[in-house]
Amino acid sequence: MATAVALQSQIFISILAGGAFLFIISLFLLLVLKRALKNPNPAKPRRAILMKQIAFGCLYLSAALTFTASLATSETAGALQYSSVAVSGSSILIRPGISLQVLQWLAFGFSVAFTLLEGMLLKRGHRGLDLEK
């Protein structure tokens, strides 16, 4: 029990918080990028390209961290269940909770879907700027 609490409070929260932080940063950068695409500055043409690269880098890292947290939760739950069965003389049987795992995998799915759809929308939405570099 102490191992599960330590994993949940010290490791998994940091991964999810890091993913959420990167996702929020990428949303802010996408808003700034949208404003830069509406009013392009001819004196600084590379600014929009750089913002796009940083925003999508943050989105991809956020999705990767969400995947890592989801996979780690699933693997840890399976390992705890296995270890509770493997211990001889133990009357405690640990079963993994399904709701947390489902919610984390849904968060990962929505993060990937947002990243892919935002990329397609941004590709269609730019006006005259070559953001394909």
Token couple for 57: 């880098």
Asked if residue 46 is part of any domain, the answer here is yes
Asked if residue 84 is part of any domain, the answer here is yes
* Contact status, residue 59 vs residue 114, Cβ threshold 8 Å: yes
* Contact status, residue 13 vs residue 65, Cβ threshold 8 Å: no
Rg (alpha carbons) of the chain, rounded to whole number: 21
Q: Say how many domains are in the chain.
A: 1
Asked if residue 26 is part of any domain, the answer here is yes
Task: Look up the domain containing 32 and give its range.
Answer: 2-125
Asked if residue 130 is part of any domain, the answer here is no
Q: What is the pLDDT of residues 68-92, one digit of tens each?
A: 888 888 887 777 777 777 666 666 6
- What's the whole-model pTM score? 0.74
**pLDDT-derived band at 112, boundaries 50, 70, 90:** very high
d(CA 112, CA 106): 10
